[in-house]
Structure 1
Amino acid sequence: MDKKEYPQNLTVQFCFLGNSASCRKEVRSGPGNILLFIVLSCVSVCTVFLNLLVIISISHFKQLHTPTNLLILSLAVADLLIGLIVMPVNIMQLRDSCWYLEEMACCVIPVITFVSMVASLYSLVFIAVDRYIAVSDPLLYSTRITVSKTVSLVILGWSFCLLYGIMFLYFNDHFLQSQISNRCQGDCVMIIKKTWIIVDLVLCFLVPCSVILVLYSIIFIVARRQAKAVRSVRKGASKRHGAKASSSSETKAAKTLGIVIFVYLACWIPFYISSLSVESVTTSSMVYTVFVWVIYMNSSVNPIIYAIFYPWFRSSVKFIVTCRIFELSSSRFNLLPEHF
């Protein structure tokens, strides 16, 4: 094909020089594209850095070893995989449309992508259940929700996500299609059937998100009722003052995680709306690329929400940045203000 048939910012080369079976490489080299790649690369780096801060904070400081924070840790690990693996691979393909990794990686990377995305959602489901129990039955919360039970739940959830990711790609004939559709070396395109888009919509969006929304509706109703009850109690009683602080803490945590849920829904809804309007989704299409990057951005936003609303995260970041976590007793530092 004559080079002049392409736009000025798009030049055609080959993925592997000297290889007759190589795919054509469409290099996006215009100033706008270069700026886009720089921005996306910065987003990837920031996603990795911010989620590493969350992971290090919760893992290192013993005061943060709570069931809720372990669920947040699970969410941060899923977001870290998005920034560390999924984003760079997508930037590479977006840069010149070539797949430079091995054929096996063409099967493994989509599995990692699906597992990370589904794990993010189900971590939010577990967090919603955890907050529901904490707000509706605070006296029995410590006995019903323990660290060991939470760890088992997280392992079970990730196992389900891995199984679902493999099944999702297998029944879309991805493993077989990756061999057949590779008509040239440097090609890795996955086609998602509409049937599985609907299945995925129900199992990994409508059902879990409905559970989340119902639980948070109940949480806010209970929190509002508790707030009214606390305001009716005399301020002088120290015991009741403690109940007020506890109720305020639980309500604040519920509101913060509610914002996380809202952001998640805002990132995912455009993808499903666009996916249902076509017979099948091709990962190389521009529409898919745009909306999937909106989803990836959610992995960058979550740690920012923690930084804004969680005092313990801001305190832990200060200790990490100043390298005070290398002190012998750093794991026992107090990260929570007295009023929190």
Structure 2
Amino acid sequence: MEQHSESIEISSAVDDVNSTNTSDWSWTPITWSWWLIIQLVLAILGISGNLLVILVLFQRRKYRKPTDILIGGLAVADFITSIFMIPQPKLSGVPDTILGEIACKLIYSSVFLWISISCSVFTLTAIAIERYIAVVHPFQFKHWVTPRKIIVWFLIIGLAAIAINSRTFGTTWVDSEHGKCMHKYNVPGVQTFSGIMVFLVLFIIPTLIMLVSYSLIARSLRLRSRLYKLQKGVQSSSNVSGPSDRLLVARNKVIKLMFVVIIIFIVCWAADSVALLAYNMRWVERSYLYSPVYHVLVVMAYFNTCANPLIYAIHYPEFRLAVKDLFFGSRTVRSSLFGKDYNLTTKGKVYVNAIV
């Protein structure tokens, strides 16, 4: 998941030294190609969809639980990412000054876009860990996962996102000879190391944590379901007879919902992450960058930013009711939207149905 904007875009063609005034700022106007049009559409969908999630959760802030806070943080990260996805004129000329250096490192590199993307990935990973603790270690949940500790989680996520993208500051600077921003690895092997590190930290490790967490969750649910049936004489896991049963069904809905979110994340980012790793390992030619294949993979990756609100709307009826309540005041009994099972982790007994 290496940064697209910083991927060795040193200037596709080196202009004559005298053709660029090194003391001037210049911007290349937007050329509306098909991929930029799709990117703009995805950005608009991401802004509107994630803003809707934020507003719904804010409306129910009095009932918020750790799961709600984490999903709200995910929506905020995707909302910011969508804003930075809006196509902008390209910074094509900068003066060799401190301000020019700052512009290259912050604007040309699109570092803020990639910090927000990193926050989104790390928050999605944190949600998987929170769900794992809630199901597999329910008695410790209320001690390990609290709204105050979630704030600490977000602080760690933000610092990690900045750290993983800080390499940009050392590899992007002003080419004083031509008055342009350039991105280059001066030390041999650094590009390879950086590509591997980003691939591992922003894709492989989060994916493994998510898949392992949900595998352990599914295993725990199956085992407890058998115990539940033996203790209660339940013949069918679809029986919903009391408050505990309804809360357990609500838990399963949230778990299945977040599993779908994770699968979509893997589908959206897998091809682009592998392709950029191959580029940084020099397994593919430089011509891959900004080729039609490159743009298709980038569009797939960007789709993930607006996908989560669509998933909530399609697979989670409670979200649709919350949206209706937000706009029309449907008199729905308000409660935690995604953390309905919280009370199960604060009582003496925990009965869990199988995921159906």
Which category of TM-score, normalised to the shorter sequence, fits these structures? 0.7 to 0.9
Deviations 1:27-85, CA, capped at 9 Å, x for gaps: 756xxx3x654443222111100001111221231355110111111111111111111
Structure 2 CA distance for aligned equivalents of residues 239 and 255 of structure 1: 18
What is the deviation of 1:234?
A: 3.4
Q: Tell me: CA distance 1:20–1:126, structure 2 relative to 1, closer, same or farther (3 Å).
A: same
What is the number of equivalent residue pairs in this alignment? 298
Q: Which residue identity lines up with residue 41 of structure 1 in the other structure?
A: L
| Equivalent pair of 1:82/1:296 in contact (CA under 8 Å) | no
Q: Tell me: CA distance 1:132–1:27, structure 2 relative to 1, closer, same or farther (3 Å).
A: closer
What is the deviation of 1:112?
A: 1.0
What is the deviation of 1:285?
A: 2.4
Instruction: Tell me which residue corresponds to 2:5.
Output: none
Q: Which residue identity lines up with residue 197 of structure 2 in the other structure?
A: V
- 1:252 paired with 2:248, answer no
Q: Tell me: CA distance 1:65–1:36, structure 2 relative to 1, closer, same or farther (3 Å).
A: same
| Equivalent pair of 1:135/1:250 in contact (CA under 8 Å) | no
Aligned to 1:259, the other structure's residue is in SS state helix
Instruction: Tell me which residue corresponds to 2:178.
Output: 183
Q: Bigger CA drift: 59-68 or 45-54?
A: 59-68
What is the deviation of 1:222?
A: 1.0
Aligned to 1:99, the other structure's residue is in SS state strand
Instruction: Tell me which residue corresponds to 2:88.
Output: 92
Instruction: Tell me which residue corresponds to 1:119.
Output: 119
Q: Which residue identity lines up with residue 70 of structure 1 in the other structure?
A: I
Aligned to 2:310, the other structure's residue is in SS state helix
Structure 2 CA distance for aligned equivalents of residues 331 and 181 of structure 1: 62
Structure 2 stretches of 5 or more lacking a match?
Answer: 1-17, 95-99, 342-356
Aligned to 2:88, the other structure's residue is in SS state helix
Deviations 1:217-250, CA, capped at 9 Å, x for gaps: 10011112233333442359x9984433333222
Q: Which residue identity lines up with residue 313 of structure 1 in the other structure?
A: F
| Equivalent pair of 2:164/2:198 in contact (CA under 8 Å) | no
1:296 to 287, 302, 323: 302
Instruction: Tell me which residue corresponds to 1:47.
Output: 46
**TM-score, normalized by length of structure 1?**
0.74
Instruction: Tell me which residue corresponds to 2:213.
Output: 215
- Kindly report which structure 2 residues correspond to 1:53-132, keeping only aligned pairs within 5 A, or say none: 53-85=52-84, 87-88=85-86, 91-92=87-88, 98-99=90-91, 103=100, 104-109=102-107, 110-132=110-132
Aligned to 2:178, the other structure's residue is in SS state coil
Structure 1 CA distance for aligned equivalents of residues 318 and 215 of structure 2: 26
**TM-score, normalized by length of structure 2?**
0.71
Query: Larger relative CO (CA 8 A, sep 6+): 1 or 2?
Result: 2
Q: Tell me: CA distance 1:335–1:50, structure 2 relative to 1, closer, same or farther (3 Å).
A: same
Q: Tell me: CA distance 1:311–1:195, structure 2 relative to 1, closer, same or farther (3 Å).
A: same
Q: Tell me: CA distance 1:161–1:27, structure 2 relative to 1, closer, same or farther (3 Å).
A: closer
Instruction: Tell me which residue corresponds to 1:272.
Output: 273
What is the deviation of 1:164?
A: 2.2
Q: Tell me: CA distance 1:297–1:309, structure 2 relative to 1, closer, same or farther (3 Å).
A: same
| Equivalent pair of 2:28/2:91 in contact (CA under 8 Å) | no
What is the deviation of 1:132?
A: 0.6
Q: Tell me: CA distance 1:306–1:260, structure 2 relative to 1, closer, same or farther (3 Å).
A: same
Deviations 1:146-171, CA, capped at 9 Å, x for gaps: 111111211221122122221x3134
What is the deviation of 1:264?
A: 0.8
Instruction: Tell me which residue corresponds to 1:201.
Output: 199
Q: Tell me: CA distance 1:63–1:225, structure 2 relative to 1, closer, same or farther (3 Å).
A: farther
Q: Bigger CA drift: 135-144 or 297-306?
A: 135-144
Q: Tell me: CA distance 1:252–1:231, structure 2 relative to 1, closer, same or farther (3 Å).
A: farther
